[in-house]
Amino acid sequence: MPADRPDGSPGLLYLLAEARAPLEAAALIPTLPSLLGAPTGDGHHVVTIPPFGAGDAFTAVLRAYLGRMGYVTHKWGRAEILGFHRLHTIAVRRLREVVDEAGGPVSLIGHSLGGIYAREVARADPENVRRVITVGSPFAGDLKSNVVWPMYESVTGTRIESIPDDVMARMNEPLPMPATAIYSRTDGVVSWSSCIDAEAPLAENVAVPGSHIGLIHNPAALHVIADRLAQPAGVQQPYAPDGWRRLVTRAGPWRRPRSSP
């Protein structure tokens, strides 16, 4: 496969390879016994945030799996994942609705732009967030290192260049709670290097093979999610894949150096 293009976005062959996404979902059937053997949860509440252009139906498989593994799952429950100006009016308000129901901090999982929202919601209200897991989310570096940014600008009316420098810098900073960034080096929509966190005690990056669209239904990614959620609150032990996952999953293969102050 070719390297990323000069602007950082994936090349054409990566994008064409997104057609393999249905195969990732189909692989859930033969790997289900292994997935059900992942560590079970403690019953805490988890909010799933879908990607740009998709609704809660897109996270239905993830929610069903996590429900089976012992978590109380919540839809995003909002019609849109749009501009950052809606962060407090929509996103933080939704978090607090779930926190009120849960009676304590909850975990957030977001795919693609949903993961960027998960991180910024957690940053805005850290006392109410237990853990953050992003799946193919381009939160780091250049927000144009993907193939959908023109559509994002057109739909939201938000220009990437208009996002203040301090906001961009903050997005690149590690979170104050345990965070796991799941990414694929063969992602056809976003540059994989924009999906990994800076080196920090509570930050972790895990690479799995797969497409961008199919990553949320990818058996290896689902196992990582279940394993990470099963850790106690405030704990971030390195992900240690076993069995067949050792052949396809790489924890912490590369981390961005933390920016100098």
Nearest to 102 by CA among 72, 131, 77, 78: 72
Check residue 154 and give its pLDDT: 64
Residue 220: C-alpha distances to residues 38, 80, 82, 160 (Å): 11, 28, 28, 32
DSSP label at residue 198: B
Give the pLDDT confidence of 113-162 residue by residue, as tens digits: 899 889 999 999 999 999 999 999 988 877 666 666 656 666 666 666 66
Cα angle: 76, vertex 157, 81; to 5 degrees? 5
- Residue 129: phi and psi, rounded to 5, are -120, 125
Nearest to 99 by CA among 46, 171, 35: 46
Give the pLDDT confidence of 128-139 residue by residue, as tens digits: 999 999 999 988
Residue 252: C-alpha distances to residues 10, 122, 183, 260 (Å): 21, 22, 11, 21
Residue 234: C-alpha distances to residues 7, 33, 130, 194, 201 (Å): 37, 29, 7, 25, 11
State the Cα torsion 222-2-168-119 to the nearest 10°.
0
The better pLDDT of the pair 129, 6 is held by 129
Domain ranges in the chain? 12-251
Give the pLDDT confidence of 53-84 residue by residue, as tens digits: 778 999 999 999 999 999 999 999 876 655 56
Whether the per-residue pLDDT at 173 is higher than 50: the answer is yes
Give the pLDDT confidence of 13-59 residue by residue, as tens digits: 666 677 788 888 888 888 888 888 899 999 999 999 998 777 899 99
- Token couple for 212: 């961008």
Structural contact between residues 119 and 132, judged by C-beta atoms closer than 8 angstroms:
yes
Nearest to 152 by CA among 111, 192, 113, 194: 113
Structural contact between residues 4 and 12, judged by C-beta atoms closer than 8 angstroms:
no
Residue 63: C-alpha distances to residues 32, 43, 107, 108 (Å): 15, 13, 13, 12
State percent of the chain over pLDDT 70.
76
> What pTM was computed for the model?
0.85
The answer as to CATH 3.90.950.10 being correct for domain 12-251 is: no
- Residue listed under structure tokens 């006392």: 127
Counting every residue written for the chain, the total comes to 261
- Residue 180: phi and psi, rounded to 5, are -125, 125
